[in-house]
Amino acid sequence: MRARAVVLLALALTACGGETEPEAPKGAPAKPPSDRLVDLKKKPPLVNTLDVDPATQDFLLTTNRGFFRISSDGKTVTPVTGTIRDAGKTATVGTFLELRATGPDQLLGSGHPDKLGTLPNFLGLLRSTDGGKTWTAVARLGDADLHKIELIHNKLYAFDAVLSAMLISTDGGKTFTEEFTPRGLMIDFEVDPADPERIVSSTDKELFRTEDGGKSWRPLTGADGIRLSWPQPDTLYRADKDGTVRVSSDGGTRWQDVGRVGGEPYELRATGPKALFLVLSDGSILETTDGGATWRDRFRP
């Protein structure tokens, strides 16, 4: 068990940034990726989160350079430097920050201090009520590194890279049940809008599904770097590392190609059955309103 824990800890740290050169993305855009908001020399993930502020419709983007608020017209970029205080110690947060908007200026998050040696390296579940300027620890400070947080079915779902487990909470993140995931680091997951027990999740090389809330998993298909979004029960989207966008009507068993983007997708965020935002490895944000068939720029760094 100790050896497994050491391996999982190493995976969690590696996934949140390293010093090796990333693999060149397939299907890259003609214009070279920008390093304005992303340090392209660090190992992926380069982009951690894309969400939308429900009050202003600003984009909330977190990368390995920090947390940025981008105006909905893509013209203004405002860095957000947050702080967290615990046990009399204070640390800044923003780099390698996972977050999810829950209301105007209301955020849930997870990640690491910007500088090691202040607070524990794994910050557990965090909450901000001022748009990310200040954060408080909710649970598992020092123990959990949540790489994705989803709120659906009156539950909080998160993947903990330290335990390599799916965490599910029914009380807003104060307590969790834990279900181990398949071997390897999960890079994304989505929950069926019609079934709280049905979850599709991806590693760097494979897609999996559970029908019992994470107690058992089965592989669906192999593919590189699948990113997911599930806006309605019969519409599950995926974007692969090479930029191919696909849709499934049966929860991930069968897929239909619908479109393609130039660059490497890092997160899909649906705002409707056919409306999605997609962020590329350099922080570029694209939008589709026809289910992925065509895409237009919303922001280029």
* Ranges of each domain in the chain: 2-26+34-299
Task: Report, as an integer, the average pLDDT of 28-42.
Answer: 78
pLDDT digits (tens, 9 = 90+) for 108-160: 999 999 988 889 999 999 999 999 999 999 999 999 999 999 999 999 999 99
pLDDT at 2: 38
**In this predicted structure, what is the pLDDT of residue 27?**
37
pLDDT class for 15, splitting at 50, 70, 90? low
pLDDT tens-digit series, residues 214-234: 999 999 999 999 999 999 999
End-to-end C-alpha distance for the chain, whole angstroms: 44
Whether residue 22 has pLDDT greater than 70 = no
Q: Which of 192, 173, 90 is nearest to 133 (CA)?
A: 90
Whether pLDDT at 14 is above 60: no
Amino acid at 227: R
Query: Which DSSP letter does residue 286 get?
Result: E
Can you give the C-alpha Rg of the chain in angstroms? 18
Dihedral of CA atoms 44, 48, 50, 55 in degrees, nearest 10, equals: -160
Q: pLDDT confidence of 87, banded at 50, 70, 90?
A: confident
> Would you state the CATH architecture of domain 2-26+34-299?
6 Propeller (2.120)
- Does 62 score more than 70 pLDDT? yes
CA–CA gap between residue 216 and residue 226 (Å, rounded) = 20
Residue ranges of E strands in 170-217: 177-180, 188-191, 199-202, 206-210
Mean pLDDT for the stretch of residues 257-285: 96
Q: pLDDT grade, residue 289 (50/70/90)?
A: very high
Average pLDDT in the 253-281 region?
Answer: 97
pLDDT > 70: percent of the chain: 89
Q: What is the mean pLDDT of residues 174-192?
A: 95
Cα 195 to chain centroid distance, Å, stands at 21
Residue 19 has pLDDT above 50, yes or no: no
Read off the pLDDT band of 297 (50, 70, 90). Answer: very high
**Residue 216 vs residue 3, higher pLDDT:** 216
pLDDT for the residue 32: 74
pLDDT-based confidence at residue 16 (cuts at 50, 70, 90): low
Give me the pLDDT at residue 42, please.
Answer: 85
Q: Please compute the mean of the pLDDT values over residues 259-285 and round it to a whole number.
A: 96
Residue 199 — pLDDT band, cuts 50, 70, 90? very high
**Residue type for position 95:** T
Strand pairing partners for 107? 101, 128
**CA distances to 177, 242, 254, 281 from 227, in Å:** 24, 11, 16, 12
Q: How many helices (H) and strands (E) does the chain have?
A: 1, 26
- More confident call, 89 vs 10: 89
pLDDT for the residue 31:
66
